[in-house]
A and B are shown apart, each in its own frame.
Chain A
């Protein structure tokens, strides 16, 4: 059921109209409460996957391909197996069943079968008494390869299909192609007063969560298999394990322990989960595999490099008439989420601005590089970068203030986009206003002197989608609650807390609805033996969907308590209120019992107490093939202003400050929302200026370490100022929408736009390295020779 169906139109969050927010007083919702597991994290007590140590546990390591593209002629593991301390060695033939997160594009195997497709592709795995022995055994495995021609340039993969990277694909090296047209784009472009057209490049970047991937497996004597994994989607790992191992899913338990960051990088089922399971089944002993930092860079699934071409047609007063996009997506060696990425690259651009007509033409190709996948802002950060830089150029050419241009094209709330997506609450104008005011935009932009500038960009993102990765009619999120006579209430959720605080969010909601102290609530999460299914932590779906399921379950239990207590007191149910760990009579302040007493009364009248709740999206999306991909029950909106300083001597850009305004509906916990906004902006700024996930001309990773990849330190990170905008959503839990991914998008184009304000050059090709800046400055100087001599900003 949709939240609206569960709770009725307008309920439970008050009227849907913007400007008429619900004025209810909350005990916990909207307050900056500490997380329920904060102190466990702060004291080192919380257990992450690699902290699990089981008696008799073996350690496993992976042998990886040294070739970017090669046929495997033979594998000889006999010498490795003979090494003392080695208990098992497996290769592709032991796990030949294919998997892949999207059911229609399953092209991965746990270990390479016949072929390797990138340097780092897993080939064999060893379980040994310790890591040192396992590493020694890897060196004894003999693999004979027949190297094949390898692809590193996506433009080549578009036109050359011999050799083909995946033999059974019908379109050669093309992974997915999507072309969608909404309206008469060519006609509108012709009729436009101004058309801006240009090419843009988004490089590859990766997640670099500080916790490397790790999995542990053990099989009980009766065959029950348990796998602990650092995954952000327990449910898909569960399904994939059953398929690949040929086991009944009811005989597999998957548990996600505390997770040390993910950002999309732990969404796919990974080789190590299958390997530890298989090795545990063969040896009869627990097996752990911890990937090295270098291996995490190979595992990747990071942001797709894209080459983007945009044409935007506008009227002379700045109204958009048409947007036309052509995008080439470098998918790397496997499909992963690539089908969705290809759709998202076009489908998620249609807000917060009104596009009367729109066309996108996106093609994802395979190359012999680490596979790309979903990274924070999946598929939509790259087109957003290109388009927001193009919009800035439109403003410049029309002589309009870039914020004013964005205001003029605002699509409004409670509307429908050109591609058929339903927009509910929309606080984008307020976001613009917040960053405009906070940054002193009107007084400061263009007036900071050469070398210093301000830039704006906006964006929109989904709060989950109504497209479950495998088609089914079951709820996307489920919750079970068990209440006990001591007053303790345990919430069981399949949702994955990946550091974003979803377990705390669930606890806040249940405590709010049942009037409990937070200390009375426990959360058991992401354990397939104990918890109802949730589709996992991706697409910014958890707060919206799991939150609504939690409200649903808690209100059912509350109804039982209210009914029982009202009957006990012989009063009308409307007089019974649950608040702050007590149940009170609204008309007789002398009558008040603890929530434990209330649960005892309820248990005596009903039965052992519990309830279930669920959430599913309403039917959403355009009525065309792919129309549901990117269709979300609610969209978040963001605007950033970035202040940069550009050193014209060295070409170095320094972001000094970033103002972030984000419309997250209701902030269920503003401190956690602000943390998501700051972390998102930090990550976007890092992608623009420092980070690059690339390979050299042999396909070897250019720098598989945190130092070489250059994630920002505390010194590199600018001052981040988060401003929360609350446009209460009619269907989100208490009006909430997402906050974890949207606020990344504008930071990257805002930097480019700020550099234009600072030194008059347009950076269209990421990353914005000093070399590129210097080159463009030289070109610009050559074009305006003499006019600006002596005007070089230094740092």
Chain B
């Protein structure tokens, strides 16, 4: 066992955990922050992605002890941080994912949204290729990613105050000649 001091979502937590516990285990088991998901427990799926000093990190591969002294953000932290900054409702990326249908089963999405949040923090107007690349560590099995890309782009458009491009299924098909 080891005493850990972890700065998570703006609060300092002091807790005891086995030496070998990962950040994911501490989040889920010690703090009941179960928004970080365990999909593979070996760094393949990205469902456990959290932000450490604003950068996406696989919490299942991060020893909890090494996260001390860093600012950790989990999915539970986004909405309160948005409110602290004077915002209403949920974080814009969360609202965009909801509005655009990106949340099917939702299991991979906490990690996905944190990766997207990190991308938008360093690049306010990413291209589709940059979005693909930034989210390539987060596996989604439901959506085929398309509505996720659209959600990120929609969040960008909202920030810029412009309308997003219509999606393939939104454009009416021309009347057929035959």
Contact = CB atoms under 8 A, between A and B. Distances in A.
Interface of A: 32, 34-35, 37-39, 41-48, 50-51, 53, 132, 207-212, 258-263, 290, 292-293, 433-434, 437-438, 498-501, 670-675, 677-683, 705-707, 711, 713-715, 717, 719-724
B42 interface: yes
A674 B47 contact: no
A446 to B, nearest CB: 21
B76 to A, nearest CB: 5
Interface residues of B, number: 65
B39 A44 contact: no
A706 B44 CA distance: 6
A681 B144 contact: yes
Contact of B106 (A41, A678, A682): A41
A3 B61 CA distance: 52
Contact of B94 (A43, A674, A677): A43
B109 A42 contact: yes
A42 B37 contact: no
B174 A437 contact: yes
B4 interface: no
Interface in B31-65: 32-42, 44-45, 47
A560 to B, nearest CB: 34
B148 interface: yes
A675 B42 CA distance: 28
B106 to A, nearest CB: 3
A164 to B, nearest CB: 36
Interface in B81-109: 90, 94-95, 97-101, 103-109
A38 B97 contact: yes
Given A210-B105, A211-B37, A714-B132, 19 more contacts: A38-B103, A39-B95, A44-B34, A44-B36, A47-B34, A210-B108, A210-B139, A211-B39, A258-B105, A261-B104, A262-B105, A437-B176, A671-B101, A674-B101, A675-B143, A678-B143, A678-B144, A713-B139, A714-B138
A715 B136 contact: yes
B74 interface: yes
Nearest to A721: B168
A683 B131 CA distance: 20
Contacts of B133: 714-715
Contacts of A292: 41
A719 to B, nearest CB: 8
Contacts of A719: 146
A707 B136 CA distance: 12
A678 B35 CA distance: 26
Contacts of A707: 42, 44
A41 B99 CA distance: 12
Nearest to A672: B101
B39 A293 contact: yes
20 contacts: A35-B98, A35-B103, A38-B97, A41-B106, A42-B97, A42-B98, A43-B35, A50-B37, A51-B28, A132-B18, A209-B105, A210-B45, A210-B107, A293-B40, A671-B147, A675-B143, A705-B40, A707-B44, A714-B131, A720-B146
Nearest to A678: B144
8 interchain residue pairs of minimum CB distance: A44-B35, A499-B105, A260-B107, A682-B144, A41-B106, A38-B98, A44-B75, A51-B34
Interface in B163-178: 167-170, 173-174, 176, 178
A499 B101 CA distance: 11
B139 A34 contact: no
A217 to B, nearest CB: 19
Contacts of A260: 37, 39, 105-108
Output the residue of B75, B76, B101 with the most chain A CB within 10 A.
B101
Output the residue of B32, B34, B169 with the most chain A CB within 10 A.
B169
Contacts of A211: 37, 39, 105, 107
B74 A261 contact: no
B23 interface: no
A438 B173 CA distance: 9
A608 to B, nearest CB: 34
A45 B94 CA distance: 12
Output the residue of B109, B132, B145 with the most chain A CB within 10 A.
B145
B173 A437 contact: yes
Given A38-B97, A501-B104, A720-B144, A43 B42 contact: no
A714 B18 CA distance: 35
Contacts of A717: 144-146
Contacts of A53: 29, 32, 34
A132 B17 CA distance: 14
B141 A258 contact: no
A293 B44 contact: yes
B135 interface: yes
Contacts of B132: 714-715
Contacts of A43: 35, 75-76, 78-79, 90, 94
Nearest to B18: A132
B38 A50 contact: yes
Contact of B41 (A42, A132, A293): A293
A111 B36 CA distance: 31
B88 to A, nearest CB: 13
A39 B144 contact: no
Given A48-B107, A263-B141, A679-B143, A39 B45 contact: no
Contacts of B139: 210, 706, 711, 713
A434 B97 CA distance: 28
Nearest to A662: B169
